[in-house]
Structure 1
Amino acid sequence: MSSQVLGPGGGRRPAPTLAMKVEPDAAAFAVFESELAPGAPGPAPHRHLVDDEAFYVLAGSVAFLLDGEVTTCGPGSCVLVPRGVAHGFANPSAEPARVLVVTTPGATRLVEGLHALRRRGAGPEEIADLYRHHDTELVAMPSGSPR
């Protein structure tokens, strides 16, 4: 492993709203910055079976759904989502939001895959297959949950 320094705005961009800060193969963890447009629904509620995630809100407002409970977090908030916890997130506000995500490498690969499938206009079954491939379950959550 080698040291790395990225300046502001640095990192590989696998999608317009993602900037990889620590690549999944560079360490035992990965780091990426994600931008959420105003009103962005975020990913479908899901549960990682082998991956852990932590979200640090850099700007804006992000609603996190954690095991059925919604908590809205502003800048400086940190949310830990251990493997096995059903979760989702969304940007409920009229302003953009940004989060820094620290995760195990598998979750980063899932996020990149989801962005690639969405760009191609993939259907729900192909998206569900990608989640399964990355040891992640889609879960039904109560109505009114961020999504």
Structure 2
Amino acid sequence: MMHDESTALVVQPGEAAGASLTDGAFELLADGGAVSASRLTLATGADGAPPHHHKLSHELFYVLGGTILFRLGDALSAVGKGGLVVIPPGLPHVFGAAEGETADVLVVLSPGIERFGYFERLAAISHGEAEFASLLPEQLRYDVHFEDISDWRSAPSR
């Protein structure tokens, strides 16, 4: 939901824009301005966004339920309900529901950049309605810069 930064933004239950994924759903709460915020629910063991980093924004994850596995640079961290992760600009990361668990997480990016189009495209990709390659030219627009991190759930070998 876009808002005028001179007023408070209030999003009542049921007012958020939604985007369904094959393995979960987004509630798109706020877009642009000081923050972009969404709530993401993931099915058992499902991946979240593809491996990426942000050049401009910090990204905050607050786990509302379940356990999320994060790959933060070369480190793996499992974070359960009530846990908080703040990722600085430039740090490659990827996340998903831990094996055998569902997950529910609030995600906030600051400063906010209009990203609803990105989330809607991710939903279309998850349903086979668009190709992942369609996001590649949009990396700068959405400040989502993709990383090549294969088998991200395994600790990197040294």
TM-score by length of 1: 0.81
What count of residue pairs does the alignment treat as equivalent?
Answer: 144
TM-score by length of 2: 0.76
Secondary structure of the structure 1 residue equivalent to 2:45: coil
Change (3 A) 1:117 1:130: farther
Secondary structure of the structure 1 residue equivalent to 2:148: coil
1:139 to partner: Cα distance: 1.4
Change (3 A) 1:20 1:49: same
* Contiguous gaps of at least 5 residues in structure 2: none
**Partner amino acid, structure 2, of 1:18:** F
Q: What corresponds to 2:147 in structure 1?
A: 139
Instruction: Confirm or deny that 1:12 pairs with 2:17.
Output: yes
1:120 to partner: Cα distance: 4.9
- Rounded Cα–Cα distance in structure 2 between residues aligned with 1:108 and 1:60: 25
Superposed, which structure 2 residues align to 1:69-84 within 5 Å?
Answer: 69-84=75-90
Instruction: Confirm or deny that 1:106 pairs with 2:113.
Output: yes
| C-alpha RMSD of matched pairs (Å) | 2.4
Structure 1 residue ranges (4+ consecutive) displaced by more than 6 angstroms after TM superposition: none
Which of 3, 7, 15 aligns to 2:8? It is 3
Counterpart contact for 1:68–1:145, Cα < 8 Å: no
Q: What corresponds to 1:36 in structure 2?
A: 42
1:65 to partner: Cα distance: 0.6
Secondary structure of the structure 2 residue equivalent to 1:83: coil
Percent sequence identity over aligned pairs: 26
Instruction: Confirm or deny that 1:59 pairs with 2:52.
Output: no
Counterpart contact for 2:35–2:113, Cα < 8 Å: no
In terms of mean alpha carbon deviation, does 119-128 or 60-69 score higher? Answer: 119-128
Instruction: Confirm or deny that 1:97 pairs with 2:103.
Output: yes
- Rounded Cα–Cα distance in structure 1 between residues aligned with 2:38 and 2:152: 28
